[in-house]
Amino acid sequence: MKLPFDARWLLPLALLLGLALRVPGWFTQDIKDNWVTFEPDEGQHVHAATHRYNDLYDGEKVGDYNDSPWNVRGYGHLIATTAYGWYALQDNPPSWEEFVLLGRKLSTLFSLLLILSVWLLARAGGLSPPYAGVAALLMAACDANATISHYCLPAAGYVFWCYLALLGALRLGHKSSSFSGLALLALGSAGAVAFKFDVLPLAWGGLYLLHLAFMRRAIPWWYVPVGVGLVLAFVGISWYGWSWDNIQSTFKGLSKLNREGVPVEDHFRDNLIVYPAGVLAGVGLPAFGFALFGLMRLWGSAAGAKRVEKKAWTNRHWTLLYLTGWIVSEFIVRWSVDTAFIRRVNVFMPAVCILCAYGLHELRKHSWLSLAVVIYTVLFGIVGQSNHWFDTRYEMREFVNNELPEDAKIGVSGYVKLEGLRKTDWFMNGNWDYAVIHETHYSRYWKSMTTPFGLPECCDGVYNCKSEKECARMQSLLSGTDEKARLLKAFRPRNWFPERIAYAHFFGYYETFLGETLVFERKAGSRES
Q: Are strands 434-438 and 425-426 parallel, antiparallel or unpaired?
A: unpaired
Rg (Cα) of the chain, in Å, rounded?
24
Indicate if 370 and 510 belong to the same structural domain. no
> Is residue 2 situated within a structural domain?
no
| Residue 521, CA atoms < 13 Å, CB-side half-sphere | 10
Please name which of 390, 414, 330 lies closest in space to residue 29, comparing C-alpha atoms: 390
Q: Domain for residue 8, yes or no?
A: no
Name the domain boundary from 387, 420, 435. Answer: 387
Q: How far is CA 182 from CA 112, 202, 212, 235, in A?
A: 22, 12, 11, 16
Residue 435 lies in a domain: yes
Q: How far apart are CA 115 and CA 18, in angstroms?
A: 8
Same domain, 254 and 194: yes
Query: Are residue 212 and residue 265 in the same domain, yes or no?
Result: yes
Structural domain boundaries, residue 495: 390-522
Considering the domain architecture, whether residues 369 and 483 belong to the same structural domain is answered as no
pLDDT tens, the chain, 529 aa long: 665 556 778 999 999 999 999 999 999 998 888 778 898 889 899 999 988 988 887 777 777 666 778 789 999 999 999 998 887 767 778 888 899 999 999 999 999 999 999 999 999 988 999 999 999 999 999 999 999 999 999 999 999 999 999 999 999 988 666 789 999 999 999 999 999 999 999 999 999 999 998 888 888 999 999 999 999 999 999 999 898 989 998 888 888 888 877 777 777 888 889 999 999 999 999 999 999 999 998 887 755 555 555 555 667 778 888 999 999 999 999 998 877 788 899 999 999 999 999 999 999 888 889 999 999 999 999 999 999 999 999 999 999 999 999 999 999 999 998 999 999 999 888 789 999 999 999 998 998 888 787 788 888 888 888 888 899 999 999 998 988 899 999 999 999 999 999 999 998 899 989 999 999 999 876 655 4
Identify any residues that bridge with 122 across adjacent strands, giving them in sequence order: none
Q: Global pTM?
A: 0.93
Last residue of a domain, one of 360, 387, 414: 387
Distance CA 241, CA 55 (A): 8
Based on the fold, state whether residues 275 and 419 are members of the same structural domain. Answer: no
Longest Cα separation, the chain: 83
In a domain, 5, yes or no: no
Bridge partners, 518 (sequence order): 437, 490
Instruction: Order across the sheet with 425-426: list the strands.
Output: 425-426, 410-412, 434-438, 517-522, 485-491
For the chain, how many structural domains are there in total?
2
Q: Which residues face 176 on adjacent strands?
A: none
How far apart are the C-alpha atoms of 407 and 23, rounded to whole Å?
39
439 & 356 share domain:
no
